[in-house]
Structure 1
């Protein structure tokens, strides 16, 4: 069945938050549709709009917090014969233009992961058939949209299209990172992912350079400090708790035993990072103080979310931060793969 709207992926269990975000932002942009959710499915279709392309432009992927991936929904293909899934998919793609690549995926849910083998095998059969029909280019063409086939079951798939300049570059919207043996904690992966997802390649090169200075509030045992130290940034690690030896062995981390909500730097710093377990509004207000007082140029921090009304809390905390920061900032926020009940924010 052909349709029009958006398809977004999210962390399983956060479908209501993604649906609330899409619904509110679509309405503010003048689009009236509805989100269809299934708890723990890992994806949310947004339907009922007349112009899915216009809605997609109005809601750029970089502005969405709970969406790991944002696509333009093309068709819902149900009731496929397992002996011939290709024909109904090609029929659904008729008149939908040409694509430069095909990704066959499965939801990042417990049930969806069971479809991983099918997705791989079906992708190997589907790609040459689509190329033969002229629906997909013979070689990867980055100037054309990317086709996504999301397998929901053996007989059910959603077809969607990605503008490569307005979508995640990773399958399922998840960058693959490996934990380093010397990392003081797995939380290091959160900052690694934040730097990868919230900054461009050029920004990382320009914004993080050897000899820069940073503060890590609530640093112990030192995962985030260690990530910065590996990039030869000098770090004030602020925490009353102990730091891991692997962090202190870098030689560029100074451990300051103090309260992260009270400590202030002796001079302005290039970076502030913070992963403290505290109410999100309190963290947002403290981060705003650092910018208002001119104590840092850029920051990455986490906001721990409550169990209920998490989209409302996210929106309100980001607004509180913007209102109290004292100057216009480029603010980007996302729930990353290595986040759990939290979101990660970049400001600079």
Structure 2
């Protein structure tokens, strides 16, 4: 089977399947998605996966935590010897620079973590002996991903280091800081890590930049921004945690985040308000159109049904109403739930 393998949040398999199908069709590729509800992954079968993966850059995919090129699907594996058929299936492939043995991030996949770990310990030296894996990890070469779906069922896939997530399962491991006012701080920390590259973080998040946090209480996103040295106007009728205010970098304005506007242009605006996604998209577009901020990160809370369609509608609406050339990136992050996180920044000239 030739195709793509994508990891996603459990329960969002239909959204990733629809995204793969629509984006492949737009790029001129025929194919079909295969998945099961709550499996945590999607297979997209097509005739030329190598060309398709180039046509669908990982950074442009919203519901994929990881995007890989499928090499083989091995069913009915002999549980006493999984390695021999894997080596056989990989014969003729270019040498890999790293091996990741994984399992879907799902209720059925998590119990397979121990098997994935022990299989990796046995498969790694076998691959090196066969000349299929470098003696030391080489981040410049393609990665081999072995996804254990069941004890006798595995997916072998290839990850391009320049066009995939660098983290196992596509999940950056972030720890909840003891001083974080709320778990929502992890969402913004992950967004800055995933939606911006290292060079962009260095240039776009500088000390003494000014930002607004709409719907700030209890202060999780405000706290993250201050840790990057930004001065923040926190907009919310609710209270902020005292230690957030103690930084001396926060001005708390008791106002409605949907009506408040800054007196002068800001570097950043962030927003995690619970509201209808189209209303949020329209308000965020106003901020960019009117020049109230240069860069923005905001969340769109998705409905229970037709989430891929609503995502497309809201992002199109935002782009149209912003009325300026923007680079727009969106992802459903690991720390998101029924939502996606969007970055908007001026398009390079």
Q: Normalised by the shorter chain, which TM-score bucket?
A: over 0.9
Per mean C-alpha deviation after superposition, the further-off stretch among 90-99 and 35-44 is 90-99
Alignment of 1:192-211 (within 5 A): 192-211=189-208
1:250 & 1:307 partners in 2: Cα distance? 39
2:92 & 2:76 partners in 1: Cα distance? 21
Does residue 1:109 correspond to 2:109, yes or no? no
Q: 1:188 aligns to what?
A: 185
Deviations 1:233-283 (A, max 9, x none): 110100111111121111111010111111000100000000000000100
Q: 1:9 aligns to what?
A: 7
RMSD: 0.7
Paired residue secondary structure (1:115): helix
Displacement of 1:110 in angstroms is 1.1
Alignment of 1:1-348 (within 5 A): 3-47=1-45, 49-348=46-345
Paired residue secondary structure (1:166): coil
Displacement of 1:79 in angstroms is 1.1
Aligned length: 345
Per mean C-alpha deviation after superposition, the further-off stretch among 140-149 and 162-171 is 140-149
2:178 & 2:87 partners in 1: Cα distance? 46
2:81 & 2:304 partners in 1: Cα distance? 44
Per the normalisation by structure 2, the TM-score is 0.98
Displacement of 1:329 in angstroms is 0.3
1:193 & 1:133 partners in 2: Cα distance? 38
Question: Unaligned regions of 5+ residues in structure 1, if any?
Answer: none
Deviations 1:99-125 (A, max 9, x none): 111100011011111000010001000
Displacement of 1:143 in angstroms is 2.3
Question: Unaligned regions of 5+ residues in structure 2, if any?
Answer: none
Displacement of 1:41 in angstroms is 0.6
2:74 & 2:92 partners in 1: Cα distance? 16
Contact map agreement 1:230 1:250 (CA 8 A) in 2 = no
Displacement of 1:83 in angstroms is 1.2
Displacement of 1:81 in angstroms is 1.0
Q: Hey, which bits of structure 1, 4+ residues long, moved more than 3 A?
A: none
1:80 & 1:342 partners in 2: Cα distance? 37
Per the normalisation by structure 1, the TM-score is 0.98
Paired residue secondary structure (1:110): coil
2:278 & 2:241 partners in 1: Cα distance? 29
Displacement of 1:98 in angstroms is 1.6
Contact map agreement 1:183 1:246 (CA 8 A) in 2 = no
